[in-house]
Chains A and B, each alone.
Chain A
Amino acid sequence: MASRLWKALVVLVLWAWGALRPRRRARARRREVDPSRRDAGSPAWVERTLLGLLAAIPLSCAAFAVLYILDPNTQLLGLALGAALALLAAALILAGKRLLPQETKVEERPIPGDRQAVDEVLEQAHAATDGITRRGLLLGAAGAAGAGLTAAVAVPVVALGPGIEDQLSRTPWHAGRALVDEQGAPLAAAAIREGSFVTAFPEGADKENLDAPVVLVRVDPASLRASSERAGWAPMGILAYSKICTHAACAISLYRAPLSPSTQSRGPALVCPCHYSTFDVLDSGRVEFGPAGRPLPQLPLSIDAQGTLRAAGPLSGPVGPSWWGDAR
């Protein structure tokens, strides 16, 4: 008991010494330079201007209310409310800088960092384990209990998403499926002309599905540089590529189709407007420029007896951005 009292006394003395010392030093130093000052009293024009500004605020607010009821025009509403707020800002700043007493004050900054207190906290905390022998084991068990509870609480996160296998790999394209336009009308091969850029969908499928939209372009069949396995994929020089960029899932909506010989050093290309991945139309959708890491999937085409475009098989690769589950 006596030793505890003695300790407390030492702590108290040390604390008092520590707490008082900086203040004493501060008082001594403040005598060197004292920046505090106070100026009160304001010129008459300040009060007059302030009255004018404050009086104009209700007028501006009334204008806002009247406009809101009679003619809620965005520009005028903005002007009326903005003017009221600007007047208020001017009044407040004027009052704060010219009307009210101007003061420069010095405030002491409390500087924490009492080592003694830290030691005491630790001592008291560790005192809780006095007389416990299997401390490590108990702590481990408590940790395991906590981890188990956390895991149990985290399980419902699974409910966020459905199973992904079919979500990411299903495709509406198979041999024989007709190509239709945005209104659902079948697309005739003859309607696709060189230089045009047509978006097509699988007949009867959900157009919002990333696998659905393809781009149709037509080139001179002699200019194609595709490999032999894709030889029959572009009847009449009509090519179909997935419209979804393999970089970041934006819709490929730009078509570079050189019209004059002077620009023909580079052939026709499909370009994504998000990050300008550029895909070579003549060379199986190879990436010619930009960040895309995979070529644009191509849809093999055929033309049926009525001259309508049909798919001759599935897309040549996974649609949209890459991930681990893609078979490359």
Chain B
Amino acid sequence: MSRRSARDPVEFVEERLGGARGLRFLMSYVFPDHWSFLLGEVALYAFVVLIATGTFLALFFSPDLGTAVYHGSDPALQGQSISSAYASTLKLSYHVSGGLLMRQTHHWAALLFLAAITLHLLRIVFTGAFRKPRDINYFIGVTLLALAILEGFAGYSLPDDLLSGMGLAIAWAVAMSLPLIGGPFATALWGGRFPGTSVFESRLYIAHVFVLPAILATLIAVHLAIIMRQRHSQFPGPGRREDNVVGTPMWPAYALRSLGLFAAVAAVLVLMGGLIQINPVWLWGPYHPYLGTNGAQPDWYLGWLIGALRLMPNLEISVFGHTLVPNPFFGGVLFPTVVFALLYALPWLDRRFISRDPARHDLLQSPRENPRRTALAAAVFSAVAIVFAAGSADRMFFQFGFGYEGAIWFFRGAFLAIPVAVFVITRRICLELAVEREHPLRGWSGRIVARDASGGFAPVDAGSTISEASDHGGST
């Protein structure tokens, strides 16, 4: 575009609304160059793919549990009584051109969305990016994670296939397990006793396609606005201080690179959606409360919850002949509540007990610089990871033949022991690395000698200049 033709639209907007200054601010906004900063962007772009593919799916999906006898093209389901929700999912997969591509891309995008959010969270926690002034944006991020998990669960519960129904049965039991109010709460949510009616399907649908996406989109917008206002955090380096940001400006190079990342995320998801099968609902069959299948697994981001439900010993607390705390409460409510409470409390815990540092920080820390925080976070995440692994103990039995009951006892022990070991080992590693300062694999380990005027060699005390040099090398 020539300079002149670009002038007209900018002038058009500026003369009516103003904002050229804002555009100038956006164009010169500086992004620090570090790969770990792309994780949040990947999540953002997966969300865009989810909105695009989800809109397509919503044109064909019918959120209705009314049943009819199936006479479609799948011979395995001929003559079965199936719901409109399931039938429309089958039709969308079999007969709508590109429908299956969109459905599978949507599902893969959901898995990537949550994976990127989770890795982004790990980056934030381990580099201390949740500290003041970013604590406020961190809370929004943790909320986004919780809502994204709910959104994903609502999504794969919609098609009314066997896996959907089994997942909803568990959700019903978890809702029922709330002490005292569980029964009224669950029946209110489901519009009656499980499996409920079309009323519930329509509530689930409106939550999945409108309420939760609207909240997610709003929070994402606020999340980004707050980042723009505070500017990105950055790792320490030459010329980098608390009160500046060093990196690539948005225009021109960063905008193109980031759009390139968007296209790359979309490309990978579309290729996966086309080539790698996911959730073939026609194989699972329709759901009826009296049907179940073995080796069933939820989407990965719910693995830690099914693991918690499976690990919990068969404890139920009752008083006066009433069940006060039903068993699913421990794994389905208490465990995720504790994990999210720890996440929400992290900025305060860090300020008060871990780093004991209430100051504002815009420079990030390397995990090794804060051994106590790194070790504690690693211990908590390892506990969650063990529970997550326990969720697949049945698959381990099918794949490797490990006895299921033994595996559960192993994971119960590991849940108590491994986090302690992880804490001790991580702390030790961080302390060792902090002493060495240099990365053990990339750091300089030799000596520099210089030849003097008389022809002799003398070692140069070059520790500081070498590390300066390697810092420069790393930043360009």
Q: Which residues of chain B are within 8 angstroms of A248 by Cβ–Cβ distance? A: 169-170, 172-174, 309, 328, 332
Q: Which of A71-79, A224-232, A298-306 contacts B (4 or more CB under 8 A)?
A: A71-79
Cβ A168 vs Cβ B193 within 8 A:
yes
Out of B239, B270, B291, B408, name the residue touching A251 (CB < 8 Å): B291
Interface residues of B in 382-428 (CB under 8 A from A): 394, 404-405, 408
Inter-chain CA distance A162–B249, complex, in Å, is 58
The A270-320 residues at the B interface (CB cut-off 8 A) are 272-277, 287, 289-294, 320
Segment with Cβ contacts to B, from A2-10, A89-97, A124-132, A143-151: A89-97
Task: Give the residues in chain A near B248, CB-CB below 8 Å.
Answer: 102-105
**Least Cβ–Cβ distance between B106 and chain A, in angstroms:** 13
Indicate if the CB atoms of B327 and A102 lie closer than 8 Å: no
Contact residues in A for B270 (Cβ distance below 8 Å): 78, 81-82, 85
| Residue of B180, B290, B293 touching A199 (CB-CB under 8 A) | B290
Q: Is the CB of A272 within 8 A of B292?
A: yes
Interchain pairs with CB closer than 8 A, number? 308
Evaluate contact between A322 and B327: CB separation under 8 angstroms.
Answer: yes
Cβ-based interface call for B189 (8 A): yes
Tell me if B267 and A207 are in contact (CB < 8 A).
no
Cross-chain contact A74 with B256 (CB below 8 angstroms): no
User: Which of A113, A273, A291 has a CB less than 8 Å from the CB of B292?
Assistant: A273
Q: Which residues of B contact A328 (CB under 8 A)?
A: 318, 321-323
A86 and B264 contact, Cβ closer than 8 Å, known pairs A68-B97, A93-B257, A97-B257:
yes
Which stretch in B68-76, B271-279, B444-452 binds the other chain? Answer: B271-279
Nearest CB of chain B from residue A261's CB, rounded to whole Å: 20
A109 engages B331 (CB within 8 Å): no
| B245:A107 contact, CB within 8 angstroms | yes
Contact between B267 and A275, CB atoms less than 8 A apart: no
Q: Identify which of A97, A101, A109, A160 gathers the most chain B CB atoms within 10 Å of its CB.
A: A109
Q: Of the listed stretches A11-19, A25-33, A233-241, name the one at the interface; the rest are far from the partner chain.
A: A25-33
Known A33-B238, A322-B316: A86·B271 in contact at CB below 8 Å: yes
Q: Mark B155-171, 1 if CB is under 8 A from A, else 0.
A: 00000000000100110
Question: Complex: how many Å from CA A327 to CA B322?
Answer: 6
Inter-chain contacts of B285 with A (CB < 8 A): none
Report the separation of the CA atoms of residues A82 and B362 in the bound assembly, to the nearest whole angstrom.
Answer: 39
The 8 A-B residue pairs with the shortest CB-CB distance, nearest first, are A78-B274, A293-B316, A161-B188, A92-B260, A96-B256, A82-B271, A85-B267, A213-B290
**Can you list 26 A-B contacts (CB < 8 A)?**
A22-B243, A29-B241, A81-B270, A88-B260, A89-B261, A90-B260, A93-B261, A100-B252, A100-B253, A105-B246, A106-B245, A107-B246, A111-B360, A161-B189, A213-B290, A244-B290, A248-B173, A252-B292, A273-B294, A274-B296, A274-B306, A276-B404, A291-B309, A320-B194, A324-B182, A325-B183
Residues of B that sit less than 8 Å from A by CB: 28-30, 97-98, 100-101, 104-105, 133, 166, 169-170, 172-174, 176-177, 179-184, 186-195, 230-231, 237-249, 252-264, 266-268, 270-275, 288-296, 306, 309-310, 312-316, 318, 321-324, 326-328, 331-332, 360, 362, 394, 404-405, 408, 475-476
